[in-house]
């Protein structure tokens, strides 16, 4: 397998009851995550970013399930490949926190208020390593220093509520990286933080990446964060990828009207909005996507064909994919009519 992770034709079903057909929350998602690659997933709220990445962790639960024909292949550190969608729970547990780890938006919900930071770091180490207590303490202190936490000895005996949001997120990063994972999924890791701290955390993540072999999937609604951290990006809209390209191409050769809208609403990391802009309308909910382009009701370039036929994801330039009739070739348009 050429990539660290290969997702093919992923769909996620929402169970609606015995007599009602399931609804597809996301569908047809193909993603390749390279080794040591920083991959961005961007889109508005509700587009399916988090549930797509939860499937990589094997964390989907009722009423959600992975749809038929979906595949997620992952290459482990020992070189063997696993099909995540069919791994038993016990194997998934071994993978999580060791080969694949996550950082979420709200560190307070990921950490247990009843245990000290030291106890929670040890928990991750105990499950995946054979270190003794003294060794675990050393590894924990070293990791806390790497994420630039002052007075790490004190932090080990502190409880989560003693720490600020920025410090808690550093602890989460420490826990996520302590077993040197192959893949780190960061789901809006800086959204809950104020802008100065946000910039510090992104700088820290960029710095740490240099010393780890970890690939990162950065999930965000903000293309500004993508620009700071990623090389490749997939733009999600209403449960589909609508554009995918290098970050450079997304910013300078934008193809999809939705991406153009997202770019106009970028928050600069300095804190101010360059321009207050929101794309008119709202993301349609699953089950109400219509027959044509899912963005049609919000698009300034909408044409007749857009409301009738769904555009396919096609290559508009080498390595640059876009799902829009504006960029489809004549042959594709004719085939659709």
Ligand X SMILES: Nc1ncnc2c1ncn2[C@@H]1O[C@H](COP(=O)(O)OP(=O)(O)OP(=O)(O)O)[C@@H](O)[C@H]1O
Closest distance of CB 180 from Mg ion, Å: 26
Q: Are 74 and 55 in contact (CB under 8 A)?
A: no
Cis, peptide link before residue 63, omega less than 30° from 0: yes
| Inter-residue contact 169 to 107 (CB < 8 Å) | yes
Contact string 263-292 vs ligand X (x = CB under 6 A): ----------------------xx------
CB of 27 to ligand SF4, least distance (A): 16
**Number of C-beta neighbours around residue 167 at 10 A:** 20
Measured from the CB atom, the residue of 98 and 243 that comes closer to ligand X is: 243
Count of C-beta atoms within a 10 Å radius of residue 288: 9
d(CA 235, CA 47): 9
- The two tokens of residue 50 are 């988090």
Task: Please classify residue 243 by burial: count the beta carbons closer than 10 Å to its beta carbon, then call 0-12 exposed, 13-18 middle and 19+ buried.
Answer: buried
Q: How far is the CB of 49 from Mg ion (least distance, A)?
A: 5
CA distances from 11 to 34, 75, 130 (A): 21, 21, 38
Binding letters toward ligand X, positions 24-63, x by CB under 6 A: -x-----------------x-xxxxxxx-----------x
Residue among 5, 20, 10 at smallest CA distance from 67: 10
Is 167 or 242 the residue whose CB approaches ligand SF4 more closely? 242
| Strands of 106-201, DSSP E | 183-187
Alpha carbon distance 120, 126 (integer Å) = 10
SS3 (DSSP) at 298: helix
For residues 29 and 163, which CB has a smaller minimum distance to ligand X in the complex? Answer: 29
Q: Closer CB to ligand SF4, residue 241 or residue 299?
A: 299
Question: Which stretch in 7-15, 25-33, 43-51, 146-154 sits in contact with Mg ion by CB under 5 A?
Answer: 43-51
State which residue, 65 or 116, has the beta carbon closest to ligand X.
65
How close are the terminal C-alpha atoms of the chain, in Å?
38
Q: How far is the CB of 26 from ligand X (least distance, A)?
A: 7
Burial of 202 (0-12, 13-18, 19+ CB in 10 A): buried
Nearer to ligand SF4, 218 or 299 (CB): 299
**Stretch in the footprint of Mg ion (CB under 5 A) among 20-28, 45-53, 301-309, 329-337:** 45-53
Site string for ligand X, 212-241 (x = CB under 6 A): ---------x--------------------
Residue with Cβ nearer Mg ion (50 or 314): 50
The residues of the shown chain that bind ligand SF4, judged by CB under 6 A, are 257, 293, 295-296, 299, 301-303, 306, 311, 324-326
| Min CB(255)–ligand SF4 separation in Å | 9
50 is a site residue for Mg ion (CB under 5 A): yes
Q: Which residues bind Mg ion (CB under 5 A)?
A: 50
Q: Which residues bind ligand X (CB under 6 A)?
A: 14, 25, 43, 45-51, 63-64, 221, 285-286
């Amino acid at each position: 397998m050429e990539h660290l992770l290969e997702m093919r034709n992923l769909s996620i079903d929402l169970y609606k009851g015995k007599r009602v057909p399931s609804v597809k929350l996301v569908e047809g998602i193909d993603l390749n995550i390279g080794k040591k690659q920083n991959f961005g997933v961007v889109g508005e709220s509700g587009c399916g970013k988090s549930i797509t990445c939860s499937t990589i962790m094997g964390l989907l639960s009722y009423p959600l399930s992975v749809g038929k024909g979906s595949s997620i292949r992952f290459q482990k550190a020992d070189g063997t490949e696993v099909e995540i969608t069919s791994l038993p729970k016990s194997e998934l547990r071994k993978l999580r926190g060791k080969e694949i780890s996550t950082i979420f938006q709200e560190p307070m919900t990921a950490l247990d208020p009843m245990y000290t930071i030291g106890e929670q770091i040890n928990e991750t180490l105990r499950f995946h390593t054979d270190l003794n207590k003294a060794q675990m303490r050393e590894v924990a202190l070293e990791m806390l220093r790497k994420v630039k936490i002052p007075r790490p000895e004190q932090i080990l005996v502190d409880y989560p509520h003693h720490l600020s949001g920025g410090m808690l997120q550093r602890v989460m990063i420490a826990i996520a990286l302590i077993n040197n994972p192959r893949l780190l999924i960061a789901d809006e890791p800086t959204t809950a933080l104020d802008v100065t701290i946000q910039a510090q955390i992104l700088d820290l993540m960029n710095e740490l990446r240099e010393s780890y072999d970890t690939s990162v999937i950065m999930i965000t609604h903000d293309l500004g964060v993508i620009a700071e951290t990623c090389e490749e990006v997939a733009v999600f809209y209403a449960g589909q990828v609508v554009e995918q390209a290098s970050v450079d191409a997304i910013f300078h050769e934008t193809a999809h009207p939705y991406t153009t809208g997202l770019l106009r609403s970028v928050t600069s990391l300095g804190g101010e909005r360059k321009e207050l802009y929101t794309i008119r309308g709202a993301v349609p909910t699953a089950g109400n996507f219509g027959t044509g382009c899912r963005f049609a009701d919000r698009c300034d370039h909408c044409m007749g064909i857009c409301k009738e036929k769904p555009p396919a994801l096609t290559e508009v330039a080498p390595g640059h994919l876009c799902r829009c009739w504006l960029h489809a070739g004549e042959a594709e348009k004719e085939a659709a009519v």
